[in-house]
Amino acid sequence: MDRSVTDKPAVTQAMIDAYDEYTHLTLDRRGFMEKLTRLAGSGAAAAAIAPMLAASKAEAAITPENDERLVIETLRWPGEGGEMQGYLAAPAKPAGPLPGVLVIHENRGLNPHIQDVTRRLALEGFMALAPDFLSPQGGTPENEDQAREMFSKLDMAGTVKNGERSRAFLAARKGGNGKVGAVGFCWGGGLVNRLAVASPELKAGVAYYGAQPPADQVAAIKAPLMLHYAGLDERINAGIDAYRNALQANGKRFEIFVYDGVNHAFNNDTSAARYNKAAADLAWSRTVAFLKNNLA
């Protein structure tokens, strides 16, 4: 009998919800592990399950960094009150001017997974730039718990301005066609929604399970939006109806997709317990088509 298969601990929805509370709400690391231990039945089981819930940097790369089809650069540009830094990927042999896409990270910062997503978009024919929105604090650290703490200290108004500075920087970059959209995940999805409010020059926005902007700000949105939500993500989904109603009332162009039976972060293939390949592949195909249609 293969014990590595039969003894693999089961991950329940309650465990996934506890991890979401830890990464996005009020539960600290110690409280999370105590709760996970109760749910798993033992400390040993909790220790085995925790890495399955978290994202693994070792699993980050689907598109290798040395892919000869791509040009990769680390860039710096003026931000709000300081310098921004980021990761750019573009086709090595473009057929013409490239549409631009900002790739906005989760609340772990600019990590290997987001860099990989940036390379994937470049292979689809975009000039893709992933800004590090922790740049004002020195950039994304290796420790993810430290990164999450840094997000709590970010000034959101300044962060949105850094999003707009990043958009303008990419729009003006040589080799681009001047049109820039944005795709963001989790915290980054929320920032895409806020950037759509703040930037009349944003040409398209795709938010994966992102917090919605206040309804009274929706009238300012100019960009068409594609909004992806996870069916089991009660925390974020609580704001869908108000956002949909505000978008409809203001005559905005938008599409909303809710993927039944999947969790927040279903697109993140480095998180074994929450990743859902079928939903991720469908959302990605829709995202790429939407960006191509609106940025060409």
Is there a single domain that holds both residue 38 and residue 66?
Answer: no
pLDDT tier for residue 52 given thresholds of 50, 70 and 90:
low
Contact assessment for residue 105 and residue 185, using Cβ atoms and an 8 Å cutoff:
yes
Q: Enumerate the H helices of 70-183 as residue ranges.
A: 112-123, 144-151, 156-171
Q: Has 233 been annotated as catalytic?
A: yes
Helix (H, G, I), strand (E, B) or coil at 260: coil
Cα 101 to Cα 137: distance, rounded to the nearest angstrom: 24
Is there a single domain that holds both residue 77 and residue 35?
Answer: no
Q: What's the rounded mean pLDDT across residues 253-272?
A: 94
pLDDT tier for residue 12 given thresholds of 50, 70 and 90:
confident
Which is the catalytic residue, given 113, 186, 228, 269? 186
pLDDT at position 30: 73
Is there a single domain that holds both residue 66 and residue 158?
Answer: yes
Is there a single domain that holds both residue 94 and residue 152?
Answer: yes
Which is the catalytic residue, given 105, 113, 228, 264? 264
Cα 99 to Cα 111: distance, rounded to the nearest angstrom: 23
Q: Based on the structure, what is the number of domains in the chain?
A: 2
**C-beta neighbour count of 77 within 10 angstroms:** 19
Q: Has 264 been annotated as catalytic?
A: yes
Is there a single domain that holds both residue 34 and residue 132?
Answer: no
What would you report as the CA-atom Rg of the chain, rounded to the nearest whole angstrom?
19
pLDDT tier for residue 283 given thresholds of 50, 70 and 90:
very high
Is there a single domain that holds both residue 108 and residue 128?
Answer: yes
Least confident among 177-191, 235-249, 259-273: 259-273
Q: What is the pLDDT of residues 64-97, one digit of tens each?
A: 888 999 999 999 999 998 999 999 999 999 999 9
Q: What's the rounded mean pLDDT across residues 122-136?
A: 97
Which is the catalytic residue, given 17, 20, 116, 233? 233
Query: Residue 26: is its pLDDT beyond 70?
Result: no
Is there a single domain that holds both residue 116 and residue 157?
Answer: yes
Domain hosting 49: range is 3-53
Q: What is the pLDDT of residues 179-202, one digit of tens each?
A: 999 999 999 999 999 999 999 999
**Residue 73: strand pairing partners:** 88
Is there a single domain that holds both residue 268 and residue 132?
Answer: yes
Is there a single domain that holds both residue 152 and residue 118?
Answer: yes
